[in-house]
A and B are shown apart, each in its own frame.
Chain A
Amino acid sequence: MVNQKWKKYWQVLTSNNIGLFGLILLVIFLLIALLAPILAPFDPSARVGDPFMKPNSQFLLGTNDVGQDILSELLYGTRISLLIGVIAAFISILLGCLVGIISGYYGGKTDAFLMRLVDLVLVIPFLPLMILLAAFIGPSFWNIVLVISLISWASPARVIRSQVLTLKTKGYVEAAKSIGTNITVILGRHILPGVIPIALSQFVLAASHSILIEASLSFLGLGDPFTKSWGTILYYAQARGAFLTDAWIWWVLPPGLLITTLVIGFAFTGYSLEEILNPRLRKER
Chain B
Amino acid sequence: MGKFIAGKLLQYLIVIFLMLTLNFLLPRLMPGNPLVFLAGEDVGFMSSAEKEAILDKYGLNDSILEQYGAYIKNIFTGDFGYSYQQKRPISELLMERLPWTMLLTGLGLVLSTVIGVMFGAISAWRRGTRTDANLLTVFMFLSAMPSFWVGMILVSIFSAQLGWLPVFGAESAWSNYTGMDRLIDIGKHLILPLATLILISVTSTFMIMRYSMLNVLGEDYIMMAKAKGVKEKVIKYKHAMRNALLPVATVFMLSLGFTLGGATVIETVFAYPGVGRLMFESVLSRDYPLIQATFLIITFSVVIANFLADLIYPLLDPKVGSRNG
- Which residues of A lie under 8 Å from residue B269 when comparing CB positions? 238
Asked if B146 contacts A125 (CB within 8 A), the reply is no
**CB within 8 Å for A128 and B146 given contacts A135-B288, A244-B167:** no
Asked if B279 contacts A131 (CB within 8 A), the reply is yes
**CB within 8 Å for A234 and B148 given contacts A124-B15, A128-B294, A136-B288:** yes
**CB within 8 Å for A131 and B153 given contacts A123-B302, A125-B302, A263-B144:** no
Asked if B260 contacts A256 (CB within 8 A), the reply is no
- Which residues of B lie under 8 Å from residue A221 when comparing CB positions? 280, 283-284
B316 close to A (CB within 8 Å): no
Nearest-neighbor residue (CB-CB) of B256 within chain A: A125
A192 close to B (CB within 8 Å): no
Please give the distance in Å from A61's CB to the nearest CB on chain B: 16
- Which residues of B lie under 8 Å from residue A256 when comparing CB positions? 145-146, 149-150, 152-153
Q: Could you tell me the distance between the alpha carbons of A197 and B302 in the complex, rounded to whole angstroms?
A: 34
Identify the interface centre among A122, A125, A284: most chain B CB within 10 Å of its CB: A125
B21 close to A (CB within 8 Å): no
Q: Which of A115-162 contact B (CB under 8 A)?
A: 116, 119-120, 122-129, 131-132, 135-137
- Which residues of A lie under 8 Å from residue B303 when comparing CB positions? 123
Asked if B152 contacts A135 (CB within 8 A), the reply is no
B12 close to A (CB within 8 Å): yes
Contact among B15, B147, B295 for A123, CB-based, below 8 A: B15
Asked if A128 contacts B295 (CB within 8 A), the reply is yes
Per-position binary interface string of chain B over residues 253-270, scored 1 when its CB falls under 8 Å from any chain A CB and 0 otherwise: 010111011101100110
- Which residues of B lie under 8 Å from residue A260 when comparing CB positions? 141, 144-146, 149
| Interface residues contributed by chain A, number (CB under 8 Å) | 46
Asked if B156 contacts A248 (CB within 8 A), the reply is yes
**CB within 8 Å for A116 and B11 given contacts A126-B257, A128-B298, A259-B149:** yes
Asked if B254 contacts A244 (CB within 8 A), the reply is no
- Which residues of B lie under 8 Å from residue A222 when comparing CB positions? 283
B30 close to A (CB within 8 Å): yes
Asked if A267 contacts B295 (CB within 8 A), the reply is no
A97 close to B (CB within 8 Å): no
- Tell me the total A-B contact number using a CB cutoff of 8 A: 154
Contact among A128, A132, A252 for B152, CB-based, below 8 A: A252
- Which residues of A lie under 8 Å from residue B153 when comparing CB positions? 243, 248, 252-253, 256
- Which residues of B lie under 8 Å from residue A62 when comparing CB positions? none
Per-position binary interface string of chain A over residues 93-122, scored 1 when its CB falls under 8 Å from any chain B CB and 0 otherwise: 000000000000000000000001001101
Please give the distance in Å from A252's CB to the nearest CB on chain B: 5
B109 close to A (CB within 8 Å): no
**CB within 8 Å for A267 and B143 given contacts A123-B303, A125-B299, A238-B269:** yes
- Which residues of A lie under 8 Å from residue B288 when comparing CB positions? 135-136
B306 close to A (CB within 8 Å): yes
Q: Which of B11-33 contact A (CB under 8 A)?
A: 11-12, 14-15, 18-19, 23, 26-27, 30
- Which residues of B lie under 8 Å from residue A261 when comparing CB positions? 144
Q: Which of B143-173 contact A (CB under 8 A)?
A: 143-150, 152-153, 155-156, 159-160, 167
- Which residues of A lie under 8 Å from residue B90 when comparing CB positions? none
18 contacts between A and B (CB under 8 A): A122-B257, A123-B15, A124-B302, A125-B257, A126-B261, A128-B260, A136-B27, A219-B146, A221-B283, A237-B152, A243-B153, A243-B155, A244-B155, A259-B149, A263-B145, A267-B140, A268-B140, A285-B128
Q: 20 extra interchain contacts, Cβ-Cβ under 8 A, other than A125-B299, A131-B264, A221-B280?
A: A116-B11, A120-B14, A123-B15, A123-B302, A124-B257, A125-B298, A131-B279, A132-B291, A135-B283, A136-B30, A136-B288, A234-B149, A238-B148, A244-B167, A248-B156, A255-B149, A259-B146, A260-B141, A260-B149, A267-B144
The 8 A-B pairs with the shortest beta carbon distances in the complex, nearest first, are A127-B261, A256-B149, A125-B257, A248-B156, A263-B144, A243-B152, A132-B295, A244-B160
